[in-house]
Structure 1
Amino acid sequence: MRIHITNIYGQSSKSVAMIAQNTTAEIAKSLGFNELAIYFYDINVDNSRELSCRIDGILSGVANGDIVFFQSPTWNDMRYDEAFIAKLQAYRDIKIGIFVNDVLPLMFESNEYLLKRVVTLYNQASLLIVPSDRMLRFLQKNGLTVRKTVIQQCWDYPTAAHLEIPMAKPYLNFIGNPEKFEFVRNWQYEFPLHLFTAPTEIVKGNVTFEGWQYTTNLISKLSKGGWGLVWAQGHVKKYMEMCVSYKLSTYLAAGIPVIVEEDLSNQEIIRKNDLGLVVESLEQAINILKHMTPADYQAKAANVKRFSFLLREGYFTKKFLLDAVHKILQNS
């Protein structure tokens, strides 16, 4: 028996989706998993026979009785994902674990019609790895019948970057595109916002543009201090209440305390480990910061330093993958 995991290639180097899958696959390989590389492309260039042959090539190292973890979605269209799982089902005694990275019908309102198809795809798995308890309950209400499940909890962020000792500086850091996150467009709070994106005229107010940074540079810059902000509005906010935020792990891996909304899916981790502030509004957060001492900040930063070892060493991913293997092979 061998254990395999899918991994996407071919997207932009800025793609968080690809970075997250690549990171998961690398950690899985350290546990002895075999990688099944999937290229991101326009599947309309393939007819059904060509698509079948393409997937056969990817699965050439898979044998009857193996375990395959499928990172979902592949971003190659639902038809590709459905064809891939159908191919796996043809193997005798195959065991399929689907790791839900993102749920397209929940990410984009225009894709809500795909929810039934996505849940049908998930129901073909022996086990499902989901971001949060809230996501699991939502899927179950919408037809999920998979009995064996594992909760992800956090994205890992392995890095060998040089990290500073964070200072209690009066500013907030935010990673995100202003076109997607409207609240950054007119930042009038007294604590400046360090925005990690290219300068744009649609953003006004007390904002410093840090530009887009690749992973190593990004985490090094963040580690200098301030607070990491995880925030959203509208449809994005609804999704973040169920998914796991990659930017949250980025801030924590950098060693800085965070400010998160109380509805964030994994806010309980922040509360239990005292990794920052869980608040109802930005106004509440700013008011707390006004009265916070450097000693208060350093106490939270010390908690983050301890916790972030788990993220930088890949322990969340190792745990949920090993838990998943155990559950797949045991009658529990």
Structure 2
Amino acid sequence: MKYILSWQDSAHNTGGVKAKKDAELFLNEEGFTAIKIPTGRVKKLLYVLFKLPFVLMRIRLGVIVVQFPTGTWTILDLITRYVKNLSGAKLVYIIHDIETLRYWSESNNNRKKEIELRLLKRADGIISLNAKMTEWLRSKGVKVPIENMRIWDYDNPQPVRKIEEYNRTVGLAGNLDKVQFLKKIPSDINIYVYGPNKESDYPDNIKYVGNFSPDLLPLKFKENFGLVWDGDEVNACSGPLGNYLKYNDPHKLSMYLSSGIPVVIWSKAATAEFVKNVKVGILIDNLNSLNTELDNINEDEYKIMCSNAVNLSKKMRKGYFLKTALQNLIKQL
């Protein structure tokens, strides 16, 4: 038997919540049974402490998938120890984020890093986001089978966007309180931005469009390219969040591509090679050269990128990348 732990996060309109819901949806299509944790902090805690152990004791074979991270570190520690000690199933993680890489890369708080790594090593198998993340996991002593997903799938309810006139426009979707580089973009470069927590004083070349749910956003996004960039600076993706792009699969990348929208992505991002290989965007070292890079693309080249993105979107909308990685992983357990 195959199971997935169904844990509802409290946040809304975020890529992280959307990614977890989509993963659960695609695994349900693969015949996974959901172990549903109730909503609400107290109900979750009571379920994990008093009911989940008895649910797991009845599972004697198969795999149990847990999306990493889930809940607090204490809750995740309990859940994974129960899976390992009470059930007869293998514990599989689908990694969404590694906080040591995202927030703690420059921190001296080794205790948090040690807790996270201990939890990662508890798995019997791991779905990693990409080869760069897997390389980091191996360097930290994670020895279990690992399969790379390569890119997040995206259950996109909106129609794939039709190829439109190439007018060299660029949009950015995301949590805008983390996007510090926007105020440093040269005044001759226009960026259209979507998402929560907008600043009150963007320069004139930063055009705020609105905040939409992950399911509605693909319909509202009108620009030629989606931007994948993070951190504090425009000459490179810097700071902890910028550096995290070297390991992470940004969910905004999947929103763009599943909609048939080509991307502009930092050349050193972990997913840059994927974008290059499937020919769905532009790799860029420095945002200061964005207009030049856009001018170097003619309309025919842009239409080819759009066509490639549409073909890729057909796979992403069906959960191809997660399903394939998980099928390959289970064979090794």
Q: TM-score, normalised by structure 1?
A: 0.89
* Contact in 2 for aligned 1:262/1:280 (Cα 8 Å): yes
* Counterparts in 2 of 1:43 and 1:112: CA distance versus 1, 3 Å: farther
In 1, distance between residues paired with 2:44 and 2:34?
25
Structure 1 residues 198-229: Cα deviation after superposition (integer angstroms, max 9, x where no partner)? 5531422312211111123211122x441110
Uncovered stretches (5+) of structure 1, i.e. residues with no partner:
none
In 2, distance between residues paired with 1:84 and 1:120?
14
* Contact in 2 for aligned 1:70/1:99 (Cα 8 Å): yes
Deviation, 1:283, is 2.2
* Counterparts in 2 of 1:39 and 1:202: CA distance versus 1, 3 Å: farther
Q: Which amino acid aligns with 1:211?
A: G
Deviation, 1:41, is 5.1
Aligned to 2:298: 293
Aligned to 1:106: 101
Aligned to 2:67: 71
Q: Which amino acid aligns with 2:256?
A: Y
In 1, distance between residues paired with 2:49 and 2:90?
20
Match of 1:249 among 243, 250, 254: 254
Q: Which amino acid aligns with 2:101?
A: L
Deviation, 1:22, is 0.9
Aligned to 1:38: 37
Aligned to 2:159: 162
* Contact in 2 for aligned 1:186/1:205 (Cα 8 Å): no
Deviation, 1:235, is 0.7
Q: Which amino acid aligns with 2:294?
A: L
Aligned to 1:218: 217
Q: Which has the higher contact order (CA 8 A, sep 6+)?
A: 2
Aligned to 2:150: 153
* Counterparts in 2 of 1:316 and 1:12: CA distance versus 1, 3 Å: same
* Counterparts in 2 of 1:161 and 1:45: CA distance versus 1, 3 Å: closer
Most deviating of 107-116 and 157-166: 107-116
- 2:253 is the alignment partner of 1:258: no
Q: Which amino acid aligns with 2:205?
A: N
Q: Which amino acid aligns with 1:194?
A: Y
Deviation, 1:85, is 0.8
SS at match of 2:94: strand
* Contact in 1 for aligned 2:13/2:214 (Cα 8 Å): no
SS at match of 1:278: strand
* Contact in 1 for aligned 2:57/2:86 (Cα 8 Å): no
Aligned to 2:25: 26
In 2, distance between residues paired with 1:282 and 1:65?
51
Deviation, 1:62, is 4.8
In 2, distance between residues paired with 1:45 and 1:324?
29
In 2, distance between residues paired with 1:61 and 1:96?
14
Aligned to 1:276: 281
Aligned to 1:227: 225
* Counterparts in 2 of 1:197 and 1:264: CA distance versus 1, 3 Å: same
In 2, distance between residues paired with 1:6 and 1:50?
12
In 2, distance between residues paired with 1:174 and 1:62?
47
Q: TM-score, normalised by structure 2?
A: 0.88
* Counterparts in 2 of 1:11 and 1:301: CA distance versus 1, 3 Å: same
Aligned to 1:3: 2
In 2, distance between residues paired with 1:275 and 1:61?
47
In 2, distance between residues paired with 1:273 and 1:245?
17
* Contact in 2 for aligned 1:170/1:191 (Cα 8 Å): no
Deviation, 1:304, is 1.1
In 2, distance between residues paired with 1:54 and 1:61?
10
Aligned to 1:187: 185
Aligned to 2:76: 81
SS at match of 1:84: helix
In 1, distance between residues paired with 2:69 and 2:79?
11
Deviation, 1:122, is 1.8
* Contact in 2 for aligned 1:173/1:227 (Cα 8 Å): yes
Uncovered stretches (5+) of structure 2, i.e. residues with no partner:
232-238
Most deviating of 158-167 and 35-44: 35-44
Aligned to 2:172: 174
Q: How many residues align?
A: 321
